[in-house]
């Protein structure tokens, strides 16, 4: 059974989320704050985390950043009442995979959960270009046999480039393929993630900018 961790300091909302997900067949655990969430993940990593942003103490963004720093690639769906673009960008930059604004329909919550979980069900496959190797199923990348600490979005972006070597990928294509056309994502977000990916890949650079269009993976 697929395990989901629900994190929200509002008890009625937390119980509603748990009931909704359990009724759809998930094994649900709950945490009332960021500290409890981090402890729960340390005990047993779930398959999906549904995480509120605004919590006292360790908030949702801090939880995201800590999990990503420790290399945990589990999908994270952020929940927040803030719908401004800078707030959404902050969530994505912290390492979240998707962003749902309160109030939301339970059908949309379940649809987004299914979409995030599908990413981990692809058949085993390895992509390679030059000295970069990417394990599609494990979502792990290395260069010259050194593992690269990629966030889930960075891994998705690298996969897109590796599947289309020497071809120009436009910002619009990246937004559609990596962010699913999410309203929270903009061309600036793509540029920021490309910059992060370049830094982690190191030298010599393999991701080249095609001015006014997008990016290309090439020697």
Regarding whether 175 and 107 lie in a shared domain, the answer is no
> What is the pLDDT at residue 123?
53
Q: Which residues contact 7 (CB under 8 A, 6 or more apart)?
A: 14, 30, 31, 32, 33, 34, 36, 37, 49, 50, 51, 52, 55, 60, 63
> What is the pLDDT at residue 51?
96
Last residue of a domain, one of 97, 120, 143: 120
Regarding whether 146 and 78 lie in a shared domain, the answer is no
> What is the pLDDT at residue 199?
95
Per-residue pLDDT of the chain (219 residues; tens, 9 = 90+): 899 999 999 999 999 999 999 999 999 999 999 999 999 999 988 999 999 999 998 999 999 999 988 888 889 999 988 877 788 888 888 889 888 988 899 999 999 999 888 865 555 578 999 999 998 877 889 999 899 999 988 999 999 999 999 999 999 999 888 887 655 567 789 999 999 999 999 999 999 999 989 999 998
Which range marks the domain in which residue 186 is found? 123-217
CB 128 within 8 A of CB 158: no
Q: Into how many domains does the chain fold?
A: 2
Q: What is the largest CA-CA distance in the chain?
A: 54
Regarding whether 169 and 113 lie in a shared domain, the answer is no
CATH number at residue 30: 3.40.50.2300
Instruction: Give residue 2's region: left, alpha or beta (phi > 0; psi -120 to 50).
Output: beta
Regarding whether 197 and 186 lie in a shared domain, the answer is yes
Last residue of a domain, one of 73, 101, 120: 120
CATH number at residue 171: 1.10.10.10
Regarding whether 103 and 8 lie in a shared domain, the answer is yes
Last residue of a domain, one of 62, 87, 120: 120
């Amino acid at each position: 059974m697929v395990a989901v961790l629900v994190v929200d300091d509002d008890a009625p909302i937390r119980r509603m989320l748990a009931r909704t997900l359990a009724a759809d067949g998930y094994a649900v655990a709950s945490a009332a704050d960021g500290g409890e969430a981090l402890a729960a993940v340390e005990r047993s990593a779930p398959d999906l985390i549904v995480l509120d942003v605004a919590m006292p103490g360790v908030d949702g963004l801090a939880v995201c950043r800590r999990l990503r720093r420790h290399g945990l690639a589990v999908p994270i769906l952020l929940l927040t009442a803030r719908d401004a673009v800078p707030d959404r960008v902050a969530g994505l930059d912290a390492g979240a995979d998707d962003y749902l604004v309160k109030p939301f329909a339970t059908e949309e919550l379940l649809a987004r959960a299914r979409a995030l979980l599908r990413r981990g069900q692809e058949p085993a496959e390895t992509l390679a270009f030059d000295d970069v190797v990417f394990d599609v199923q494990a979502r792990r990348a290395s260069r010259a046999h050194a593992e690269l600490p990629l966030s889930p979005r960075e891994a998705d972006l690298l996969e897109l480039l590796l599947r289309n070597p020497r071809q120009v990928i436009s910002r619009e294509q990246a937004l559609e393929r990596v962010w699913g056309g999410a309203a929270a994502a903009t061309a600036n977000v793509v540029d920021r993630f490309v910059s992060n990916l370049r830094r982690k890949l190191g030298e010599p650079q393999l991701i080249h900018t095609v001015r006014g269009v997008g990016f290309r993976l090439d020697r």
